[in-house]
Structures are given as C-alpha cells and as structure tokens.
Structure 1
Amino acid sequence: MHPIRKVVAVVQDGAEPFGLGAICEVWAEPYHPDDDNPVFDFVVCAEAPGVVKGRAGFDLVVEHGLEELADADLVCVAPKHDFLDHSQVVADAVAAAHARGAWIYAHCTSSFLLGQAGLLEGRRCATHWRFAEKLQQMYPEALVDPDVLYVEDDRIVTGAGSAAGIDAALHLMRRHFGARVAATTARRIVVPPHRDGGQAQFVRAPIRADEAETLAPLLAWVTEHLDESLPVERLARRAHMSPRTFARRFRDETGSTPLAWITAQRVALAEELLENTTLSVEQIATRVGFGQAATLRHHFSQARGIPPLAYRKQFSCVEAG
C-alpha cells in the first residue's frame, strides 16, 4: 500500500469550519515526542487561491491552488454549506487524483462532490443521515449506506455527518499506520479510537465502556474477561436484570447489541496482539475469546478489511524471534 506522506485539503466557498477543522486536527499535527506521531506535508488548497468565503462569519486565506493535488497521497474534501453547488473543476481534479492512485477522503455533505466527480458509481458511501436519500436520488449508481459512521471502498473513504468525519479519519490512520498510531491520535484529540459503525448514527452511537451509564462497571468487567464465554444470560445476571431488559438497556447505552459490542472488543484486542506480540493466530483467537483461528479470521477480515496475518505483516511492532 502506497504510504501517505502528502495530505491536501480542498476547500470551496461556504467551507464548514468544523469539517475543515476535523481534517486539520488529524492530518496537520506537528511532531510531539510524547506521541511519536507521523507528520505529513499538509496543504490547504482551493480552485482560486486567495480569499475563500467561510460559513460561520469568517473567511479563509488560501495560498495554494489545485495543482497541489498532482502529487497528493491523500485528498481530503472539506464540506461546504451549499453542498449541491460544487465546482466541476474541483470535482475533475479530485477524480484525476484518484485515477492516478491517491486516496480520497470526504465526510458529511462533501460526499456530494464525489458523486459529481463520478467516484461513487458502484461504490459504497456515506453522508450525513439527513441527506442520504438525496445523495441516492442524485447518484442512483452509488451504494449509499445511511447506517454507518464511515465506509471505505476502493481508496475512497466517506464519513457521515459532523464528528463522524473524525471516525473516518482515524480509520484511515489505522489502515495506514496501525492501531497504536490511531489510538495515540484519538487520545490526543480526546475521542474514542474506534466507534462501531453498524447502526444508524442518528439514532444511537456506540460508546466506550467508561462512557456508559448503569452498565459501565459491567462493560469494564467484560473487557477484562474477553477470553471467556459471555452469553447474554451471564451478563444479564451480573447486571441483575432479566435477559430481555438487559438487551434493551445495552442497546440504549451502547447503540449496539451485546454480541456486536463484544465482537468489536475482541477484534480490537486481537489487533493489539497482532501488532505487539508474536503469538500465533490460534493463540490470539483463544486469548480474545474467538476460540478458533477461523472465527478470528472471519471477524477480523470483516471488521478491518484485511486478514490477521496480512495485518501483522503490515503493522507489527515486534520482530519475530
């Protein structure tokens, strides 16, 4: 996989400050010895360098033009207020960048520019839940998923509304630099390193164990006992609830089912063990509670888009003995 070194953010008139800020927060950070974070050649560009009108009472002064996309490894399209009015010149430049091998990242309503650029045809994509139906109507060949926080398809990563742009960016960071770097980045900006995206983000959002309400102690206990059998009945007994009440409370507090939440925790632990130990896939499967290597391979590949051994080859921090 081609490494990400140069990151270019594209802005247009009506640029949303939070959308651009989310991009800058992840990709424009200078080096800090406590984090040992990667540093990127980060550039903000526009079709016409100069003043770009903002949306929240202030404008941007942009020094660079679209020529910066010619050698960008990652192109980030910042959302804009009037998301149905994108420049065709910008759309063509983004499409050309993807055609030559660059990764493309767009979140919230900036997905509409990718549709205009022809980059969503036959590809899964996400946008803000309010506009998912509109995106599907305008670009019927796109595979719009209104229930996810982000999705990756053929070097194109699209995120849902607002803060889900950070989830999408952390996914890219994890994809290219591993779980440890993504977790360090998330810790710096004080967000969870990974939120499950298998549910409608506008109904409920998954949260960390320590952010839950009444179930927080139980979820903390679960993360320490992932190698054990954890059926709903056992968890309900520990929570002093009936299985039915427990399942309803669990979804209310985490936005997920118990099985899906536990599976995500097991995959996350497997990810860490693949990076930081030389344990075999079979040993890791036992350690995280999947039991069999085949089960681990299935869930890991489904969640991360890459088999466990391929992930280890790419991100291992430990030299094999």
Structure 2
Amino acid sequence: MLSADLTASCEADGFRDAYPERFFSMGMAEQNMMGFAAGLAREGLFPFIHTFAVFVTRRPFDQVAMSIAYPNLPVRLIGFLPGITTAGGVTHQAIDDVALMRILPNMSVLECGDATDVESVLDVAQAVNGPVYVRMLRGEVPRLFDAGEPMVLGRARVLGEGRDLTVLSSGICTEEAMRAIQALRGQGLSIAHLHVSTLKPFEDPAIEAAIAGARLGVVTMENHGIIGGLGSVVAELMAEKGLGGRLIRIGLRDTYAHGASRRYLMREYGLDAMALVRAAEDLTSTQFDLTEEALSRVRLETMSRIDKTEDL
C-alpha cells in the first residue's frame, strides 16, 4: 500500500499498523508515487495507491498514463472523496476523474455506491489483469445492497424493472435515485433502475436492454460532471447502438462546485432525489405532487432481489 500524506484521511492507517513492512508513505509527491508503484508492479507486486481522487487522477495524470496505463501494469488506484463528497472545495472535489481515467487505454474504472460495494470492490479490482481506478467512499456508508451479493465487474445491479423510464445511477446518486423512484412509482410511473458500478468497460447487455425498453426516455445520475462520465458513456452507447429516445443527464453541468456539506451541494447543483423527479416530469410532461420534504421521509431497505424493489 502506498499513501500520499493522507494515510488516516483515506482510512489506510489500520493497514499501516498491521503490516508496516508493506506500507509506504510517499509524502506530497503523487507523480513520484505513480512511478514508484509502477516499479513495484514490474517486480511482480500488486501496489494499491490510496489518496484523494483529485490527487490520483488530475495531478499525476501523465505519470498514470505513461508509467501505469501504457505498460498495462496491475496498479490499483484508490481515489477517495470523489465528486462533491468533500466540503474541501474545488481543489479537493474530483468532478472530472472518471472522464480522465476513461480515456486511458487499458484502464478499468469502478465506483462504489454503498457498503457492499466498498467491501467487495477490492476483490473485483484485484481480478483485473491491468490497472484499475476505484472511486472509493469513506466514513459511514449506507448499506443499500445485500452483503451476500457483491459487486461484479461489468455488470450493473438491476434494482427494478419498468417500461416508462430507465434510470441509470452511480455512486452516491443511487441512494437519491432509489428515494425518488419509490415516490414516482407511487405516482403510477413504471421505472427501470440500474446501479452502475463498472464505468469502463461498459458492455453490460442488461443496460442496453433497459435503455431500449424505455418508452419515454432515459435518465443518468452521477456525482461527476455530465461531460465524460456516466452520462457520456450512456450517450455514446445510445448513439452507437441506434437506441432512440431522450436522454437527461443529471450531474454537474459544466461548472465547479464550492465548499459546503454534501447534502447542500447535492441540492444546490441538482444531484438529489428532487432532480430526478424534475427529470421525470420533463420526460412525462406531467407535474407530480412531490416535495423535497416528502422525499426526505422515504425510508429505504437493503435490497437483495429485484422482486423486493416494490417494497422499498
């Protein structure tokens, strides 16, 4: 494990204490850390890099591209505090990391959305023969999915089926989507919902089928800019496969955020449950009698099977 002066902040101090001979603190020198990790990988080891997502992707991008992605080395890049999960402002908010990692050949991109994803993502990453970037959550994380159903590479979690709309969500936006979808189903909408944890490769036939089956349109929700992330991936798929229908992308709309609480930022920049309600109103040309207060009262249960969706 390699850390860049943010060991405790990335919850890596437990590993350091348990395995001090396998832990390296590289200081505030992320570019050097990438080269160091590449050297370890060339010697047959499996380095796991832990630091904030902005310092994994944006600052050392050339070193990641040339030292790790180009030679296709098994380095696992664990990026904490993606998007607006931090109140640290623009210097610490990774709103373009998925876009940056997606454009690198050989790089796989994963994102955690709940405690089950967090618990299982390292096994998924370690099974990939090449570099992997992981958007990792930290601190207290809700459990939305059954612990016995771990993340699977290249496969979305089908949380519900429907014919009117298809919602594709990732990361922290999945919890918001689940809240809104339960309320919208109560208004008579038939909604398919898939939680996307593999952003590259993006070849899940279930996603294509859900998009093709949406009568009124598709909505993507992501904790990232709408350019280059999940919204762009879905737009590319729809164009290449000739899948008609409208697409509404929920995410940061070509803007930087600022320092504030996660709840405030999600509401301020339209990444919350109410944003999905507004998108559904747009696609259906219907005004639903739903308020932020009503959505905040929706209680979610851990999901284990698709047939449990209606009983959230």
Q: Which structure would you say has the larger Rg?
A: 1
Q: Greater helix percent: which structure?
A: 1
Of Structure 1 and Structure 2, the greater strand share is in: 2
Higher relative contact order (CA 8 A, sep 6+): 2
TM-score (norm 2): 0.32
Taking structure 1 as the reference length, the TM-score comes to 0.31
